[in-house]
Amino acid sequence: MTSTGFEQALALGDDALIAAQRMAEWCARAPEIEEDVALANIALDLLGQARALLSYAGELEGLGRGEDELAYLRDEHEFRNVQLVELPNGDFAVTMAKLLFFAVHQQVLYAELAGGDGPLAAIAAKAVKETAYHASHATLWTVRLGDGTAESHRRMQQAIEHVWPYTHELFEGSDRRGAWLARVEPVLADATLTRPQDGWAPTGGRRGVHTEAFGPLLAEMQYVHRAHPGARW
Amino acid sequence: MNERVRAAVAAVRDPELTVLTIEELGVLREVAVDGDRVVVTVTPTYLGCPAMATIKADIVAAARAAGGREVEVVVSHSPPWTTDWLGEAARAKLAAAGTAPPRRGPVLVALSVRCPRCGSPDTSELSRAGSTACLSLWRCAGCGQPFDHMKDH
């Protein structure tokens, strides 16, 4: 039987998993070697969070599904991640905007969960320290690009405008948006960027409604496992 | 036999920071021996630490070689691992191997890290992400050498 606990662990696990998969697309494509290593490390952290969260979700569900079944054997409509994390990487500015908004959200959320008890609190207590690095990395780049050349400023502004609508979904049914804004707005100000207006707020990820880009992402992530069911290293 | 199994498991080395044992690194939390049944509790440094699979396999092999028959490795996330668990001996070993040890306390912002080769505090961070999840890459202005620093975590 599914429960609220299962749904919550699944949603957070899916967020981390899909964010990791997108970030891993930068591997061997980043603008410099240090950045390549940094993005791969961030992807690895997110994948580690996803594995812990999905394993826990599987235990709560009690149907014998583990992390692999949940990651590889579900279809689009069964994933509960927010649409923000599945958006294509775009240019480097879009990737950094996504990372900044998502990592700060994770920081706020994990800090809150870590104050509870049980396995979810334990995972959150570990993950919160990792996400602090992710948020700090994205902050450095947002400021560097926003407060950089005219071209980098234009593209960073364009990136946050593009991503902003998708951030609303992070706070559905929660009161964490205030804490998130309190961290994000000073970064945008430092970066000499204009905070986008609230308007269109796409939604549906938590109910299994996803964007057009999500199917191809899953196809790439899942095809080896599905082509060779039960294969082991 | 309890002590033999415990010692064997404690002597397993981290596959990435090979100068340290998993006990010195703080990854090993408990070894419970009941007859020939062994339950080892470990905690990962980072949730995504890719060395965990190797560490588990090495623990099973070490415990079996010391007489354990049924060996189980349990991963616990609580309390979360922190670099504060590294003792002075472990820090000295890291430094001797050319890796600047983590600093103590809740430091997240990089201030100054001493070069493990020449001791100069005149160093700068080249990349927060290094060769493993727990290392960052630094350069020393004193001796000109690059070095790893185990991130404060």
pLDDT tens, A59-89?
999 999 999 999 999 999 999 999 999 999 9
Query: Cβ–Cβ of B44/A121 closer than 8 Å?
Result: no
Q: Which residue of B has its CA nearest to A46?
A: B48
Does residue B82 sit within a domain?
no
Query: Cβ–Cβ of B50/A44 closer than 8 Å?
Result: yes
d(CA B4, nearest CA chain A) in Å: 31
- Domain A5-194+206-227 belongs to what topology? Ferritin (1.20.1260)
Cα separation, B139 vs B112, in Å, equals: 11
Higher pLDDT, A23 or B102: A23
**pLDDT mean over B59-75:** 95
Residue located via tokens 């429960």: A3
- Is the pLDDT confidence value at A184 over 80? yes
Interface contacts (A, B; CB < 8 Å):
68
* Domain boundary, last residue among B18, B48, B75: B75
Q: Which residue of A has its CA nearest to B75?
A: A52
Q: Which residue of A has its CA nearest to B79?
A: A122
* B41/B102 same-domain check: no
> Distance between the two ends of chain A, CA-based, in angstroms?
32
Grade residue A220 by pLDDT with cuts at 50, 70 and 90.
very high
Residue located via tokens 């405008």: A161
| Residue percentage of chain A with pLDDT more than 90 | 93
Cα separation, A57 vs B17, in Å, equals: 32
* ipTM value for the complex: 0.77
B47, B50, B79: residue with CB nearest A52: B47
Q: Count of domains in chain B?
A: 2
Residue B55 belongs to domain spanning? 2-75
**Which residues in A lie closer than 8 A to residue B130 (C-beta atoms)?**
37
Q: List strands edge to edge, sheet with B123-127.
A: B99-100, B146-150, B135-140, B123-127
B137 interfacial to chain A (CB closer than 8 Å): yes
A133 interfacial to chain B (CB closer than 8 Å): yes
B50, B127, B153: residue with CB nearest A37: B127
**pLDDT mean over B46-60:** 92
A111 interfacial to chain B (CB closer than 8 Å): no
Does residue B83 sit within a domain?
no
pLDDT at B112: 79
| Residue percentage of chain B with pLDDT more than 70 | 95
CA distances from B121 to A228, B95, B110, B111, B130 (A): 53, 14, 12, 10, 20
Asked if A97 contacts A166 with a C-beta cutoff of 8 angstroms, the reply is no
Grade residue A1 by pLDDT with cuts at 50, 70 and 90.
very low
* B69/B102 same-domain check: no
Residue of B16, B27, B47 for testing the chain A interface, max A β-carbons within 10 Å: B47
A125 interfacial to chain B (CB closer than 8 Å): yes
A41 interfacial to chain B (CB closer than 8 Å): yes
Cα separation, B150 vs B153, in Å, equals: 9
Cα separation, B36 vs A158, in Å, equals: 63
* B51/B104 same-domain check: no
**Which residues in A lie closer than 8 A to residue B126 (C-beta atoms)?**
34
Does residue B33 sit within a domain?
yes
Does residue B52 sit within a domain?
yes
Q: Record the pTM.
A: 0.89
